[in-house]
């Protein structure tokens, strides 16, 4: 199924959250990037607490964690791992950055349009040029923010980031008749470029005018997995 509209692409991404690693959902989503996508080199890294499946040429990384307490991610079977976060990468910035240094390409399925219902009812549109102040204008002040302090000047460490707790609906996507009508998730946005670093990073003409470097969709079920 080709994900033709921005709202359809966004909703299908949210539907991946909570799926296990052996599910065909993620593979099916990747197939929408075009023929031959299965040949795109992927990288798997497993640690005690988390397992990553990264597709650098697609600007996409999937983060899995055990679905029960006491399990090690690097020893779990695929059906014991749940997708708890999806990282999307923008085009690498000119300044040195961890994303550019690892050869990440831009996520090709942009723009995305999320039909947000909580905390505000509006469409959140994300394209390659969406700036920090645009996220705040669309969603209000973030629930949390951080990063980009004086210790990371020079491109070391994360830039300024913001996080919101959101609920999205399927936005009337005709093909989205399976699964829940709404999904709760957290949205984390890391801003890119030198303007997102330093003591003045939160000034409107600094971080506010910076485009995003990574967007992370985080499952609202993450804590439930850890406590079960």
Largest CA-CA distance found in the chain, in angstroms, rounded? 48
Given a cut of 90, is residue 17 above it in pLDDT? yes
Given a cut of 50, is residue 51 above it in pLDDT? yes
Given a cut of 90, is residue 205 above it in pLDDT? no
Write out pLDDT tens, residues 136-150: 999 999 999 998 775
Residue 207 confidence (pLDDT) = 85
Residue 167, Cβ density class (10 Å: 0-12 exposed, 13-18 middle, ≥19 buried): middle
Given a cut of 90, is residue 126 above it in pLDDT? yes
CA dihedral 173, 178, 181, 184 (to 10 degrees): -100
Q: Whole-angstrom Cα distance, residue 60 to residue 42?
A: 10
Write out pLDDT tens, residues 86-107: 999 997 644 444 444 457 889 9
* Residues shown for the chain: 228
Beta-carbon contacts of 153 under 8 Å, excluding residues fewer than 6 positions away, are 194, 197, 198
Whether the bond into 171 is cis, omega within 30 of 0: no
Q: Whole-angstrom Cα distance, residue 41 to residue 63?
A: 17
Residue % of the chain over a pLDDT of 70: 81
Residue % of the chain over a pLDDT of 90: 50
Residue 151 confidence (pLDDT) = 54
Given a cut of 60, is residue 109 above it in pLDDT? yes
């Amino acid at each position: 199924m080709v994900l033709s509209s921005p709202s359809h692409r966004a909703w299908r991404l949210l539907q991946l959250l909570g799926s296990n690693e052996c599910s065909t959902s993620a593979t099916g989503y990747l197939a929408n990037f075009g023929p031959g996508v299965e040949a795109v080199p992927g990288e798997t890294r497993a640690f005690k607490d988390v397992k990553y499946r990264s597709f650098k040429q697609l600007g996409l990384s999937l983060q899995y964690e055990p679905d029960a307490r006491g399990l090690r991610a690097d020893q779990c079977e695929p059906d014991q791992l749940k997708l708890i976060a999806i990282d999307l990468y923008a085009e690498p910035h000119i300044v040195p950055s961890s994303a550019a240094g690892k050869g990440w390409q831009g996520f090709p399925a942009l723009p995305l349009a999320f039909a947000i219902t909580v905390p505000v009812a509006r469409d959140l549109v994300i394209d390659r040029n969406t700036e920090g102040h645009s996220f705040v204008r669309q969603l209000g002040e973030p629930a949390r923010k951080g990063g980009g302090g004086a210790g990371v000047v020079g491109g070391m460490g994360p830039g300024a980031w913001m996080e919101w707790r959101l609920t999205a609906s399927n936005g009337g996507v005709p093909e989205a008749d399976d699964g829940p009508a709404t999904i709760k998730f957290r949205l984390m946005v890391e801003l890119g470029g030198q303007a997102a670093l330093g003591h003045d990073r939160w000034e409107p003409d600094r971080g506010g005018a910076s485009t995003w470097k990574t967007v992370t969709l985080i499952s609202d079920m993450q804590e439930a997995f850890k406590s079960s």
